[in-house]
Each structure stands twice: as C-alpha cells, then as structure tokens.
Amino acid sequence: MKKRLLCIIAVLTLVIMTFSACGQKGVDSDLSMAGEVQAFADAIDMDYAYDLAYELGYNMDLADNELGWRTAGSDAEHKTADYLAEEMKKIGLVDVEKVGTPVDKFQFNDSSLTIEGTDIDLMPAAYQCSGTDADGITAEIVDAGGGYEYDYLEMDDVKGKIVLAKVDQANEAWIDGYVRCAYEQGAAAIVTWANSGYGEVSEDSINVQDICCEDLIPTVAISANQAKEIKAAIKEGNNKATLKVDVEYADDNSGTTYNVVGKIPGKSGDQQIILGSHYDKYWYGFQDNCTAVSLTFAVAKAMIESGYVPENDILVVAHGAEEWGAADSQFDWTIGAWEMIEANPDWAKKTICMINTELPGYVNENNTLNVITVPEYRTMAQKLIAESGLVVPYGDIIMSEEVTNVSNMEDGVSYRWHGVPYMLNGGVGGDFGTQRYHTHFDDADTYDEDAMKTNIHWYGAFSIYMDKMPAMELDLTTTCDELEANLGDDIAKAAGVDVEAYKAELAKLKDAAAAHNEKIADVNARYEAAMAEGADEETLAALRAEGNALDAISLEAFKEIQVQYLKADDCDVYLGHPQVNTNIELLQGTLAALDEGVLWGDDGDGALDIAFNMNSYHDWYYYYFGEEVGDNSASQYDAEFVPEENLYWGKDRLAKVTYVGDTTYDLYMADYNGEDPDIEGAKAVYEDALEEAYGWIVDYCKQEIAGMQKIVKILQ
C-alpha cells in the first residue's frame, strides 16, 4: 500500500467516533439475509486465513531474495501467481485465470556494501532503479547529512562518490527528491537511512518506498544502526566503499505482472462484486499485504462452504504490481490494477462495488477498525455498522462509526477512475504506519486474530448485503456535499464566479440525487417486505430487475462524477478543485507576509514558510533540494509536461500547477546568502500567479456546473 509525503499525518489525526459492540458474538438482525450472513460467519476458517498469510509472507520459494521481496514482474511474482491460481481452485473458485499485463520490471536479487579496513559487510535494500555491474562501484563514501542541497553546499565536491544521507519520507520529502539532489551533485550512488517518519520501531529497521523518478543512480537503504557504523568508519579514515546491487530492471514496459482472478458464479452474471487485494510486497509483507490476500480468499472460502449462492458474480482478484510498476512516474503504484480495469472497461457498467483490502490483520492502539469508502458509499456503510446488526466485532475490537473518504493509496483508485465505486478497510494507521510499514518488522508478530476475523466478517457481511439487496445504495447527495465543501465561497466570489448560480445548480443535482435515493430505498424496502411475506420467486425477480435498472443509472452517474470532478495529486483524491483553492490561499498569505517584510515567522507565518507549501507541499523540494530538483518535481504533476503513458491514474485528474517555486527559491537563497531579497519582484510574480489561478477557478466552476446538469439528466 502506498504512503506519500505527509499522508500518514492525515491518517494519524483522524478523529475516531466509535461505539462498542463488545460481547456481541452473533448476527442480530431482522434483515432477510441475516441467516446467510450468520452461516457465512460460522464457516470462517481462521486457521486457513492465518496459514495462507504466513505462507505468502514466509515461503522463500515465493520470494526473490533472502529478505523476502516480491516485486513487479519478478520471478517471485510469477511463482506466486501460479500458487494463488491453484489455491483459488482448491477453495472452489471457478473460471480461474492469470491475466498478464505489461509493467516495468524490478527484481531485487542481492546486494552488498563493504567498507575497506572494517568488518562492515551489509545487504542494503535496493530501490527501483538500475543496479551496478558485477564489480560494483568502488568509491569514497561521504556523509551528506540530511541529503539536502544546503548539506552539499557545506561539503567538498561529491562527484563520483557514494553519499550517505538520512531521509524522512513521511514529514519532509519523498525518496525521489533525495535521489535527484544527489544525482545533480554528481554522486555515483546514494545510501539512505531513516529513523523518523517511517521505520521508527527500531534503529535496526530499514524502510523503502517507491522511487517515483527516472533511472538516475543506484539507490539503496540501510538501518540507522548500520549508518552509525559507516559514519564511525568514515571518521576513522576508512572511507573506501564498494557497493554492489544485483537487480533486474527494465523501464521499457517489457516485464509482465499477473492479476489472478477467480469467481463465485452468481445466478446472473449481469452484475458483480469484486474482492481485491495485492500480493507483491517488501520483506515479509505480512500485513502489507499477505493478510489482505488471505482475507479475500477466506471470505470466498466461507461463502462457498456455507452454501451461499450469490445473486451476482463475486470475483476475487489478487493484483500484482501495486507497490510499484512504472518507471519515471509520480503515479507508479497500483499498476497491475490499473491495467486490469483498463482491459475490462465493461466492469465499470456491472460492478456494484469493489472491496479492496489492505493490512487487515493488525489493530491500532485504540482497538478500532475503520471503514473507508468513496463518499457515495459512506451513508450505507455507516448504516450497516450502526444499525444493521450484520456487523460482528470480535474480542475487544470496536468498529468505528465514522466512515472516512478513500485516498489514492491503494488499488481502489484505479477502479474508481474508471467508474467503479469501492471501499476498503482502514489500512495503515496509528503506530504501525510510522513504525513497521515497509520494513522487515511487518511480520507475523503483528497479527491480531480478532482484528482479522472482524475484517473477514465485515467484508463478507457487506458483500452478502450488497448482493441480496436489489438496488445498490449509492448516495449521490454526498457528492453534492463534497462539492459544496470544496467550492470555497470567498475565493470563488473573488474570482468572479456567480456563487449563487453555482449553488442553485448544485441544489438541483442534490434534489435529483435525493429523488433517486428514494427510488432505491423504496425497491429495497419492498424487497425486504416481500421476503418477510415469503413471496414467490417471480415477485422477487421482478424486484431485482427493478433494482438492477436503478443500478445502471447509479453507475452511469457515478462514472460521470469521476469524469467531471475527480482530481488527484500524489497524496489524495478530491471532488472539485480544493488544491487550487489552497494555492490561492497560500498566495494570499505569502503576499500579506511580504507586505510585512517577514520571510520566516516564528509561527510559520512568514512568506517562505507559506510559499513552500504550494502545490500540495511539493514546493518544499525547492527548499530541500534546489531549483532544478524543484522544477523537476513540479513538472511531474503537470499533464502538459508528463507523457500521457506515464500518468496512469493521474491522467485527466491533475489540478493546475502554480509555478512560483523559482521565485520562492530566489527569495530563500538571497536570505541564505545574507543578500537583500527582491521583495517587489517576487510580489509581482505571486500577484500574476494569483490572477491566473482565479481564472482557473472560473473555468473549473463552469465545467462543474455543466457536469451537474449532465448528471441531473442521467438521474431523471
């Protein structure tokens, strides 16, 4: 699962509103499918769930190296695809197939880092880029501190040397910034280490992420304790290092990953529910994502063994290449899933829900499990948790009633882009994200059986509910709420938007969505009444057909919402244009601070404090890594400069980039060098950018209004 710059902070600061269902051991519901949910729950095989997760995590025959890695297009991925296909058949899934799709290949075989004159002989973790030749790189190794431009400015020339740098990818910058900066300084390779942001559980932990940039120099990661050893060796004069990195890397889309698909056939194949996960991993990857794969298999196994016959097809899909699968892209994860739905566009017309799973076998420090959905499924999820009686938390686990919005951290974003509504379990939260995520401490010791069983039960119960109800409860009024919240009235008015006219069109859409909701509720209520009365199959079939017709409208409207409103950056997804609003607020704040002549403020309110937050914080790259790296980073989120084939789920979803980073950098460097900054010149640049952004707001609002009118027609 992907975690990008500052995203973990948002997860850690969620306000959790919970209710306790402690002691509830069985389904307690008047709904017609309650008996089938209970039978499913009784059939859950927890030994199977754990054993499958353990096999996927610790069977080294399914890994590419002794560290346990299984990466995009690798031999281990291929072996695991074969294994999963056979396992699907064993538990009773049918129409099992491996669906191959092209990816950029990365296979990490081996590595070593030795320091002459010492006993240091390490196996660093390799990032997704070319390795070295068999002889490796032998060069001086130097300590580059935090790996920032100002660290290099204080050093001698590092050309041709191996640099050692501390990274913090949660709070400061992603790995691509550190790599690009070292490359611009002429380094031959970079050795990174971290003890903040990620991997905080131990100074022996090694953390890696997806590299998100072109193939520049060999890049590896070691632990904080290993970095201490190297620093000590350097101080003692032992600074001749040899780095060998044995990887198979191809950035020409010549690799192959496999999505493994199996089915529980429904009475009708007109609609389907997808249970998804990914099976590539770093290290043991026990939670990320071996337990998730075993969850989907355990759900399917329990359904089959309980005798459940679904109305609709239920697909189990194990995706490859989720962690990484594309070179030189800021959108390099969920590539297997992207290609899966790209090759099956008809799925968007028939999938009533994609349920994705990530890290379900651990529980956070509050014993709370969260559910995350697209906004349109939030209402239903909250109802099912709080009112249905179908949800059974086990042990001391608590289900959160606060259902939050999905981001783009996992495979669901690829499906959503194509018009498939989805939900997932809470993923990385609490201490796990900062401590164990993407390290070898993501191991079986983290397993919590009650958390795993609660997740299995919840997603099985939800699938059965969705399958049995004639009409999917996709609440499009929440789209309207999101758009209204993200409009930014004051900014829109300042830009010249007729806010009242915008809200009038939005009100029409909300009325149409509410009327559509009433139709959904009506047919579902009549179905439940018919079930209670023991109606004949002809009556029930007519109700299901009525519901399916509403589903077709719901899915068409949902897809149009994604086309008209979905925006993305490397950290999140939005409905509307809030990123542009944020940039406008930052420009306004920067100009106000410049009027006061304050570059750095004690409370973070100086012009530079504010300006570096532009473009979803990416302008901090100018501060950390220099002008060229900053420019490169900014352009990576601009569809005008990024080749279409590198955009994937960023395609047609990127907000406008405000290019003021060079000006901000000039102000910073003048201050750094003790020179007088050109305040008036900078203000002129920021003012021009502000006017340009106001124009974008006008254009976005026009498009959004047109979209509202189009969706109203669909719903009517």
Distance in angstroms (rounded) separating the CA atoms of residues 479 and 575:
8
Q: Per-residue pLDDT tens for 208-233?
A: 999 999 999 999 999 999 999 999 99
Distance in angstroms (rounded) separating the CA atoms of residues 399 and 451:
10
Element (H, E) at 231: helix 224-235
Distance in angstroms (rounded) separating the CA atoms of residues 129 and 83:
28
> Looking at the structure, do residues 267 and 297 belong to the same domain, yes or no?
yes
> Looking at the structure, do residues 263 and 275 belong to the same domain, yes or no?
yes
- Strand 268-278 to strand 351-356: parallel, antiparallel, or no bridges (unpaired)? parallel
Averaged pLDDT for residues 91-107: 98
- Cα–Cα–Cα angle for 615, 288, 394, rounded to 5 degrees: 115
Residue 374 has pLDDT above 80, yes or no: yes
pLDDT at 430: 67
> Looking at the structure, do residues 628 and 531 belong to the same domain, yes or no?
yes
Residue 162 has pLDDT above 60, yes or no: yes
617-653 burial code (b ≥16 CB/10 A, e <16): bbbbbbbbbbbbbbbbbbebbebeebeeebbbbbbeb
pLDDT at 16: 32
Residue 571 maps to a domain = yes
Mean pLDDT of the chain: 94
What is the DSSP secondary structure assignment for residue 281, as one 8-state letter?
A: B
**What pLDDT band is residue 255 in, cutting at 50, 70 and 90?**
very high
Residue 538 has pLDDT above 70, yes or no: yes
pLDDT at 429: 58
Q: Of 204, 210, 198, nearest to 126 (Cα)? A: 210
> Looking at the structure, do residues 93 and 117 belong to the same domain, yes or no?
no
Domain that holds residue 424: 37-106+252-468
Residue 633 maps to a domain = yes
> Looking at the structure, do residues 170 and 231 belong to the same domain, yes or no?
yes
Residue that is last in its domain, among 224, 251, 278: 251
> What percent of the chain is predicted at pLDDT more than 70?
96
Averaged pLDDT for residues 439-462: 96
Q: Which of 173-187, 323-337, 422-436 is predicted with the least confidence, judged by mean pLDDT?
A: 422-436
How many of the other CB atoms lie within 10 Å of CB of 497? 22
The C-alpha torsion from 35 through 41 and 42 to 44, rounded to 10°, is 150
> Looking at the structure, do residues 331 and 457 belong to the same domain, yes or no?
yes
Averaged pLDDT for residues 18-35: 71
For the residues of 369-397, what is the DSSP string, one character each?
Answer: E-EEE-HHHHHHHHHHHHTSS-----TT-
Residue 12 has pLDDT above 50, yes or no: no
CB within 8 A of 414, min separation 6: which ones?
A: 334, 337, 338, 340, 341, 648, 649
Distance in angstroms (rounded) separating the CA atoms of residues 698 and 701:
5
Residue 21 maps to a domain = no
Cβ atoms of 618 and 665 within 8 Å: the answer is no
Q: DSSP strand E in 239-284: where?
A: 240-264, 268-278
Distance in angstroms (rounded) separating the CA atoms of residues 143 and 357:
40
Q: Per-residue pLDDT tens for 673-706?
A: 999 999 999 999 999 999 999 999 999 999 999 9
SS3 573: strand
> Looking at the structure, do residues 235 and 256 belong to the same domain, yes or no?
no
Q: How far is CA 164 from CA 100, 212, 223, in A?
A: 39, 20, 11
Element (H, E) at 110: strand 94-115
Residue 584 has pLDDT above 80, yes or no: yes
Cβ atoms of 102 and 343 within 8 Å: the answer is no
Residue 9 has pLDDT above 60, yes or no: no
Q: List residues bridging with 159 in a β-sheet.
A: none
**What pLDDT band is residue 8 in, cutting at 50, 70 and 90?**
very low
Q: How far is CA 556 from CA 157, 347, 419, 420, 560, in A?
A: 59, 12, 8, 10, 6
CB within 8 A of 436, min separation 6: which ones?
A: 199, 201, 205, 287, 442, 443, 446
Residue that is last in its domain, among 447, 468, 489: 468
CATH number of the domain within which 127 lies: 3.50.30.30
> Looking at the structure, do residues 221 and 284 belong to the same domain, yes or no?
no
Distance in angstroms (rounded) separating the CA atoms of residues 200 and 205:
7
Q: Of 552, 497, 500, 546, nearest to 519 (Cα)? A: 546
The count of domains in the chain is 3
> Looking at the structure, do residues 591 and 687 belong to the same domain, yes or no?
yes
> Looking at the structure, do residues 510 and 612 belong to the same domain, yes or no?
yes
Distance in angstroms (rounded) separating the CA atoms of residues 450 and 445:
14
Residue 479 maps to a domain = no
> Looking at the structure, do residues 626 and 688 belong to the same domain, yes or no?
yes
Residue 548 maps to a domain = yes
**What pLDDT band is residue 570 in, cutting at 50, 70 and 90?**
confident
Residue that is last in its domain, among 251, 274, 289: 251
Select the more confidently predicted residue: 191 or 641: 191
pLDDT at 161: 98
Residue 388 maps to a domain = yes
Q: Of 484, 480, 477, nearest to 499 (Cα)? A: 484
Residue 1 maps to a domain = no
Distance in angstroms (rounded) separating the CA atoms of residues 459 and 40:
11
Distance in angstroms (rounded) separating the CA atoms of residues 458 and 121:
47
Distance in angstroms (rounded) separating the CA atoms of residues 298 and 292:
10
What is the DSSP secondary structure assignment for residue 598, as one 8-state letter?
A: -
Cβ atoms of 310 and 266 within 8 Å: the answer is yes
Could you tell me the sign of the dihedral formed by the alpha carbons of 241, 246, 252, 253, in that order?
negative
> Looking at the structure, do residues 131 and 55 belong to the same domain, yes or no?
no
Residue 182 maps to a domain = yes
CATH number of the domain within which 74 lies: 3.40.630.10
Distance in angstroms (rounded) separating the CA atoms of residues 320 and 153:
42
Distance in angstroms (rounded) separating the CA atoms of residues 93 and 296:
12
Cβ atoms of 502 and 703 within 8 Å: the answer is no
pLDDT at 639: 86
**What pLDDT band is residue 179 in, cutting at 50, 70 and 90?**
very high
Distance in angstroms (rounded) separating the CA atoms of residues 365 and 167:
26
Residue 24 has pLDDT above 70, yes or no: no
Residue 366 has pLDDT above 90, yes or no: no
Q: Of 537, 628, 486, nearest to 149 (Cα)? A: 628
pLDDT at 144: 97
pLDDT at 702: 97
Cβ atoms of 239 and 140 within 8 Å: the answer is yes
Q: Per-residue pLDDT tens for 476-528?
A: 999 999 999 999 999 999 999 999 999 999 999 999 999 999 999 999 999 99
CB within 8 A of 625, min separation 6: which ones?
A: 148, 149, 173, 177, 178, 180, 181, 184, 633
Q: Per-residue pLDDT tens for 294-325?
A: 999 999 999 999 999 999 999 999 999 999 99
